[in-house]
Every structure is written in structure tokens, then in C-alpha cells.
């Protein structure tokens, strides 16, 4: 960034602009563990108008702009690889409007999903996308985030009705409609969802809300093998039990949790299933059906919990798995895959992954949102252990090739960022040229979050 650009930003934004080293450091990393790079400056935007002016100055002075909010991305999406301005939207965190009668809320991009849910509880409503961390709605839209609720409610893509977006150069558009459905012209909304801040900066979102389920039960079922657990997940889906959540953690994950939490869960591949019904009687029927199905599929036990406190306890091991696994290998770096395949192929690719990991002698654990066909392999190695990292990359590549051959995708929910760009030619073929065309159309100077999604 030129001194002229910095002084123009400073003149316009005063103390909202920071070049303090600690602030630059904090905006140079995300949760991926990828190499940090500082931005030249950080702007704490307070309004859409701030965003407009930042993008005008970016166009005038040709500096990159990287949208930032909670800092919880997992693929380096927030890292300013070419420097520039980190545009921090975390202070644009107002819930602007809640319309219970239309099941929708309008929020600024810095609102986190736990905060939105706190605001919705008095209405008996909730927002079902829960990617973990304290992710912001703007960031979640930008990576098309999902989480444990996607199996029942879908991803961010399914929740966003309308966006306000500032385009490179500072033009503001509105995409989508507050109506539940529209067929009025090209769907611009979905261009920006999952675009990781490379096509525009989201300044407002209207999202769908859902009624809180009235009756819930959570189940925990350990299995002898991870393949058996995956096959049971497919059976639960095929039986049309329509679970609220359907999660998997392998034996290694349970060991990590027991060590981290001092618990004594069976250290075996485990499924968590949450079932809902509008009526208590309906829930009893669904639970009985599901229990029988799990036992038939080889579940060693079916632990069930109904009260909120008991459900929270039953879920604990799954919810804490990611950090427990990281804690199991102090001083190691970790790398998470994010493959997603058509559901009926899930047992096959999970068996393949487990075998490939073991054959390569790697330390890795399997967890995932298996009702969606989405699972993560979390690899661990010491940062400088190049030989091991090469073996990890080789296993990652073969797993990805299989997922794509089965009709799947290299990313179910984390996005592309820096690291997965190399998979895109194989996944998209000629469609990648169309993606490049879209980027050139909306950001002809390549100033918005450069170096992300599209391979160089």
C-alpha cells in the first residue's frame, strides 16, 4: 500500500484505522494455522458507508481489501497474502430487525450466530447454522458455512433470503428478496454466498428463522468399527427419520476427549443422533424406531437423553472433539480435510480414508457431519517434519481424487481459501473458466481478497 493510500484512509477514517503491530498481527491469521501475513492497515468499519468509502479508496489507490469479522475461517480466507487493508466488520454487529411472523431476521455481517440465537429465543425461533467458534453471519455466508444443523436445515446457502453487498469500486446492490421465493431475474445472491469475500463485501443479511423443535431426544451409539458407524448413519437417513443432527467421531477422537475432559466414554467410533417431533407421542415412536435400527446396524449401546442438561452432557464429547484432538498433540500443526460425497458412498470413502491413514502410518482422526456425507480427517504432525507432511498431502490427494470420482466435492463447508485451490481444476473442469470470468466481471482489478479460491 502506498503512503498516499494510507494517508487517504487515515484522513477519511481517523481512529477507525489502525496500523498498530498487535492489530495487524491479529488480522494476519485465521484458525487454519497457515502462514501469517500482516495487512498494511486495519479498518474497523461502523457502517455500510464506511465500506463504500473503503472500496472507493481501494479502487483509487489500487490496494487489496480483505473482509474480516470473527477471524474463525479454516482455510486462510482472511490472510492478506498481498497485504492491503483488512476490513474488519465485527463492529457492524446490530440485529436490525426480527420478523417472527415471516420467520426472518435482518442483521449486520458482524453478528455472531450464538448472539443471534440469544436474541431469537424469546420468539421461540432459532437460526440453525452452527459452524462452531463464534463465527459471524457475514463470514458464514462467505464460506457457505454449515455445521451440525445442516442435515435437517441446510447450509447458509439455504438460509439467506437477501444480501446487501458493496461491489469493488463502492457500488451497493441488493441481491435476492425478503419474500420466501422469487423467480425475478438472475440469482445474484448465490454469487456472493461462498465467494469468500472475493466478489463483494456483504453489509447486511436477511436470513430465514426456524421454530425451536418442541420435543427432542439425543442418542449416543458406539460401534466396533468406523465403517459400521458410517453405514448406520446412512441407514438412519434412508429410514427417513429426518434427524436434527447426525454426527460421527472415531475411536481416536474419543480417546482425545477422555484425556482432555477426564471423562470415560467408550473409546470406540461413535454416532450422535438428535431426533425431534412436534409431539411427545411422535417422538416416542421415532425414538423406538431409531433405537432398533441402530442396534440392528451393530450399535454396542444406545444412550438416550431428553432434558436440555442431559442432552448437553451427551453431546459434550462430540462438541469438544476438535480442540481435544488439537490438545492431544501439543506443538504439532494440524490440517483438516473437508470432503463431502453423495451419502450412499460415505461408508466406502470412510473405509478408504481409514485404511490409507493407517497404511501411511499417520496420526489422524475422523469426525464429521455424516448425515450430509461430509467428514473431516484431522491430521497432526510437527511443523518441520517435512517427510510426514508429504505423506499427509499424498493421502489427502488420493482421498480427494476418490471423493471427486464419486461425485463429491473437496469442500463441504470450510471453503477453498488458499489451500484447496489446487483441487478446483479437477473438481470443476471448464466451469473454472466461467468462475474466472465472474471474478473479472465483478472485480476487474483483482483488489478484493486476492489469491483466494481461484488457482493462480
Residue 412 found at the interface with its own copies (CB under 8 A): yes
Residue 427 found at the interface with its own copies (CB under 8 A): yes
Give the per-residue contact string, 367-396, with its own copies (x = CB under 8 A; - = no).
Answer: -----xxx----------------------
- Sequence-distant contacts of 9-17: CB under 8 A, at least 24 apart: 9/41, 9/43, 9/54, 9/57, 9/85, 12/53, 12/57, 13/43, 13/50, 13/53, 13/54, 16/43, 16/44, 16/45, 16/46, 16/50, 17/41, 17/42, 17/43, 17/44
C-beta of residue 56 within 8 angstroms of C-beta of residue 170: yes
Residue located via cell numbers 477514517:
13
How many angstroms separate the Cα of 135 from the Cα of each of 113, 115, 127?
Answer: 7, 10, 13
Residue 344 found at the interface with its own copies (CB under 8 A): yes
Name the one range near its own copies by CB under 8 A: 20-28, 53-61, 315-323, 343-351.
Answer: 343-351
Spatial distance between the Cα atoms of 335 and 376, rounded to a whole number of angstroms:
10
Spatial distance between the Cα atoms of 231 and 241, rounded to a whole number of angstroms:
15
Among residues 37, 91, 95, 100, which is the contact residue for its own copies, using CB under 8 A?
Answer: 100
The nearer residue to its own copies, 114 or 211, going by C-beta atoms, is: 211
* Beta strand ranges found along 171-236 (DSSP E): 172-176, 201-208, 210-211, 215-222
Contacts to its own copies from residues 8-67, by CB under 8 A: none
Name the one range near its own copies by CB under 8 A: 5-13, 19-27, 102-110, 265-273.
Answer: 102-110
Contacts to its own copies from residues 184-203, by CB under 8 A: 184-191, 193-195, 199
Among residues 4, 35, 224, 285, which is the contact residue for its own copies, using CB under 8 A?
Answer: 285
Q: How far is CA 99 from its chain centroid?
A: 26
Residue 2 found at the interface with its own copies (CB under 8 A): no
Among residues 126, 272, 315, 423, which is the contact residue for its own copies, using CB under 8 A?
Answer: 423
Among residues 238, 386, 390, 393, which is the contact residue for its own copies, using CB under 8 A?
Answer: 238
C-beta of residue 78 within 8 angstroms of C-beta of residue 64: no
Contacts to its own copies from residues 145-184, by CB under 8 A: 145-146, 150, 154-155, 157-158, 162, 167, 171-175, 177-184
Contacts to its own copies from residues 210-229, by CB under 8 A: 211, 214
Among residues 37, 242, 263, 398, which is the contact residue for its own copies, using CB under 8 A?
Answer: 242
Residue 121 found at the interface with its own copies (CB under 8 A): no
Q: Could you give the 3-state DSSP secondary structure of residue 120?
A: helix
Spatial distance between the Cα atoms of 60 and 5, rounded to a whole number of angstroms:
8
Name the one range near its own copies by CB under 8 A: 12-20, 27-35, 114-122, 417-425.
Answer: 417-425
Spatial distance between the Cα atoms of 40 and 20, rounded to a whole number of angstroms:
10
The nearer residue to its own copies, 106 or 108, going by C-beta atoms, is: 106
Among residues 237, 293, 325, 353, which is the contact residue for its own copies, using CB under 8 A?
Answer: 237
Amino acid at each position: 500500500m502506498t503512503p498516499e493510500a494510507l494517508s487517504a484512509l487515515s484522513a477519511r477514517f481517523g481512529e477507525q484505522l489502525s496500523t498498530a503491530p498487535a492489530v495487524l498481527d491479529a488480522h494476519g491469521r485465521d484458525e487454519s494455522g497457515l502462514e501469517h501475513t500482516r495487512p498494511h492497515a486495519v479498518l474497523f468499519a461502523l457502517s455500510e458507508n464506511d465500506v463504500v468509502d473503503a472500496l472507493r479508496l481501494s479502487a483509487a489507490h489500487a490496494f487489496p481489501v480483505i473482509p474480516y469479522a470473527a477471524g474463525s475461517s479454516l482455510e486462510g480466507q482472511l490472510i492478506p497474502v498481498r497485504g492491503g487493508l483488512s476490513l474488519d466488520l465485527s463492529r457492524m454487529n446490530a440485529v436490525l430487525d426480527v420478523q417472527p411472523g415471516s420467520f426472518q431476521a435482518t442483521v449486520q455481517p458482524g453478528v455472531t450466530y450464538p448472539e443471534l440465537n440469544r436474541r431469537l429465543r424469546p420468539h421461540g425461533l432459532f437460526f440453525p447454522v452452527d459452524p462452531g467458534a463464534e463465527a459471524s453471519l457475514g463470514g458464514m455466508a462467505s464460506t457457505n458455512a454449515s455445521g451440525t444443523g445442516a442435515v435437517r436445515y441446510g447450509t447458509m446457502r439455504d438460509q439467506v433470503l437477501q444480501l446487501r453487498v458493496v461491489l469493488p469500486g463502492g457500488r451497493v446492490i441488493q441481491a435476492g428478496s425478503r419474500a420466501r421465493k422469487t423467480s425475478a431475474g438472475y440469482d445474484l445472491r448465490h454469487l456472493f454466498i461462498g465467494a469468500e469475500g472475493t466478489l463483494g463485501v456483504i453489509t447486511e443479511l436477511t436470513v430465514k428463522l426456524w421454530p425451536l423443535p418442541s420435543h427432542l431426544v439425543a442418542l449416543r451409539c458406539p460401534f466396533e468399527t468406523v465403517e459400521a458407524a458410517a453405514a448406520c448413519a446412512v441407514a438412519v437417513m434412508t429410514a427417513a427419520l429426518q434427524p436434527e443432527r447426525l454426527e460421527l467421531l472415531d475411536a481416536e477422537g474419543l480417546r482425545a476427549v477422555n484425556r482432555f475432559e477426564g471423562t470415560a466414554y467408550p473409546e470406540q467410533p461413535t454416532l450422535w443422533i438428535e431426533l425431534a417431533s412436534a409431539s411427545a407421542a411422535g417422538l416416542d415412536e421415532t425414538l423406538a424406531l431409531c433405537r432398533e435400527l441402530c442396534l440392528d446396524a451393530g450399535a454396542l449401546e444406545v444412550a438416550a437423553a431428553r432434558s436440555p442438561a442431559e442432552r448437553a452432557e451427551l453431546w459434550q464429547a462430540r462438541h469438544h472433539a476438535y480442540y481435544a484432538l488439537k490438545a492431544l498433540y501439543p506443538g504439532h500443526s494440524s490440517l483438516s480435510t473437508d470432503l463431502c460425497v453423495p451419502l450412499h458412498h460415505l461408508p466406502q470413502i470412510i473405509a478408504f480414508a481409514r485404511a490409507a491413514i493407517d497404511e501411511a502410518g499417520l496420526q489422524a482422526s475422523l469426525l464429521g457431519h455424516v448425515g450430509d456425507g461430509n467428514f473431516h480427517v484431522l491430521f497432526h504432525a510437527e511443523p518441520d517434519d517435512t517427510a510426514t507432511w508429504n505423506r499427509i498431502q499424498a493421502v489427502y490427494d488420493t482421498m480427494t481424487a476418490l471423493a471427486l470420482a464419486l461425485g463429491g466435492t473437496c469442500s463441504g463447508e470450510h471453503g477453498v481459501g488458499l489451500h484447496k485451490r489446487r483441487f478446483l481444476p479437477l473438481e470443476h473442469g471448464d466451469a473454472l473458466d466461467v468462475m474466472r470470468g465472474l471474478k473479472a466481471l465483478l472485480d476487474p482489478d483483482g483488489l478484493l481478497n486476492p489469491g483466494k479460491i481461484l488457482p493462480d
